[in-house]
Each structure stands twice: as C-alpha cells, then as structure tokens.
Amino acid sequence: MIDHNKKIDIGCVMMKKWIVGVTTAAMALLLAGCGSSTVASMKGEKITQSEYYSKMKKSSAGQQVLQQMIVEKALDQQYGKQVSDKTVNKRYNAMKKQYGSSFASTLSTNGYTESSFKEQIKTSLLSEKALKDLKKPTTKQLKAQYKKYQPKVTVQHILVKNQATADKIVKEFQGEKNTTANFSALAKKNSIDTGTKNNGGKLSAFDNTDTQLDSTFKAAVFKLTKNGQFTTTPVKTEYGYSIIRMINNPGKGSFSSKKVQSALKSQIYTKWESDSTVMNKVIAKVLKKANVTIKDDDLKNVLSTYLNGSSSSSATTAN
C-alpha cells in the first residue's frame, strides 16, 4: 500500500525539540522531597528521601526533571489562563481519533499515560502561546516565506507501475470530459495506490509545508494552478508514475491580503516551534519574567540551557 498520508509520530507532534521529555512522575515527586521518610528498606538498612534527593540532584536525569518542572510552572503562571482543559482535551481526542485502536499502545511505546500525555499537550500549547506573544515575524521573514508559500490544494492522482501504462491512461482521459468523476473512475480502475483508489485517487489537502509527499510529486502539483488541470506527462516518483489532476487550487493570493498574511505567520510559527534555538530564547524570556530562585547551590545551573549558565538576576540562588 502506498501511504501518501502517513501518520505523524506521536512524539514529534507534541514534544517540541526544546522540551526535555520526562515521563516518570514518581521521580519528580521524590526529587522535590528532602525529608527523612523512607523510600526503600532492607535488612538493617534504608534509603531516605533525603539520601535519594542528594543522589538525584547530582544526576542529569534529576536535573532535567527540575528544569522541566520550573519551565512548566513558569509557562502555566504566565499563559495558563489562555489554555483551557477543554482545549487540551480537544487536541488529545484528535490524536486519539487519528491513531484509532493503536492509540493506547502508541502512548505506552512513547512512555506516556493518558494523564502525562495531556500534561505534555498542555505544555506544548502553553509554549505556542509564549512564542506568539514574545516573538513576531518581521516583514523580511514574511516576504521570504511568501516566496515558498503555496496554499492548501486538493488533488487526485492515479499511480501505476510504468510510463507506458500511465501514457495510455492520459490519452484515455483526454478523450473524455474533464471531470472529477471521470478521473475518479479511472483511478478506481487503474491505480495501484490502494489507500486512495477507492476515493477517486483523492489526497488530503496539503500546502508547501507538507513533509510526507514525494518532493517531485509536490513540485508537479504546484504547477497546476487552475482547477481541472492535470499532468499530461506522467510524474515519476519512487512509487511509480502518477497522473495528477487539480481539484481545488484557491490561488496563491497577494502578499498583503489578510488570508495570506495569516497563513505565512502560521507557517513561520510552526517552523519556529521545532527550532530549539528559537524556543530556548523564548523560554529564557519566560524564566526571566518568572524571576526564578534556585535554593540549592548544587542546582544553580539547572537552567543554563536557557540562561547561558547565568545564575544572577534571572535565576538567583538563595541559601
């Protein structure tokens, strides 16, 4: 089966590169404790929370837990009112629907429970709010994105193994009335793409930011600027030869139009969300505003990823 609409890895959807993923809730709880309560016991010996904390704070895993806890609380403090439980649940349910019966196993494979995944979704949404609040695209950046920009289009295609078969189908379609229905009939009859043939070869709408489709296929699609246009020369990809027909191309639109400006900003923000350099700078601003105080000298550089190792005015230590 040729899957032109691959499902995106669940870890990549919700976990931005700048976020340190930690899924062991117990570790976070114990890291916060420094009392004499017993964590584990054996004949004649025991391990207390204080002993455990002393070890954990010196490990990279323990420091990552604390770093993540601080970032999450700072984001929630500044943007929490903008992200409701309803919004989180909506995103969660959309992912659940996308993965269907494999959702539970996919969560487990990625180290998530329902609760921890919802927490990750919330952190992701909070980070998006912070990004849009603290960093705005410049006119230069918008113009550069416009050069790459293509609106969301809908196409249908017929995939076959060889060019001779593809050429034959092109000629057959040219002899018929150019309609979506007629092309759909040919797709159902001839296409080897079992994922789309029974739906007339129709693909889900996509734009220039799509990363799942073959680049040659996309290049050919974006040359079809009018509805009903189709490739008279079959397009060769790693899967075979495709005849592609444009169902709906709304047109690129002018740079100054509100719709295009909104699309350009959306594309830029989506790109920035996966850019660790950009996001680290955004989180640094969030942490500076939060005025974090680190009360353990051994952990004074726990936020160095964002604050360049500085423990002065942005993240102070207190004895």
> How far is C-alpha 164 from the chain's CA centre?
40
Please tell me the predicted confidence (pLDDT) of residue 309. 45
The C-alpha atoms of residue 145 and residue 263 are separated, in whole angstroms, by: 10
Whole-angstrom distance between the N-terminal and C-terminal Cα of the chain? Answer: 63
Task: For residues 318 and 225, give the distance between their C-alpha atoms in angstroms, rounded to a whole number.
Answer: 63
Q: What is the pLDDT of residue 273?
A: 95
3-state secondary structure 181-205: HHHHHHHHHHCCCCCCHHHCCECCC
CA-based R_g, the chain, Å: 26
202 DSSP β-pair partners = 156
| pLDDT, averaged in runs of 10, over the chain (319 residues) | 41 46 46 71 92 92 93 97 97 95 94 94 97 98 98 98 98 97 98 97 97 96 98 97 98 97 97 95 97 93 80 52
Could you give the C-alpha distances from 99 to 46, 104, 147, 221, in angstroms and in order? 44, 9, 34, 28
User: How far, in Å, are 2, 47, 49, 115, 203 from residue 194 at the CA level?
Assistant: 7, 59, 57, 36, 12
Predicted local distance difference test score (pLDDT) of residue 25: 45
DSSP string, 219-240: HHHTT--STT-B-SSPEEETTE
Domains in the chain, ordered, with CATH?
Answer: 10-134+275-317 (no CATH), 150-248 (3.10.50.40)
Cα angle, residue 35 at apex, residues 33 and 43 outer, rounded to 5°? 110
Residue with tokens 């159902």: 188
Q: What is the pLDDT of residues 88-140, one digit of tens each?
A: 999 999 999 999 999 999 999 999 999 999 999 999 999 999 999 999 999 99
Give residue 213's identity as a one-letter amino acid code.
L
47, β-bridge pairs:
40
257-272 pLDDT, tens per residue? 999 999 999 999 999 9
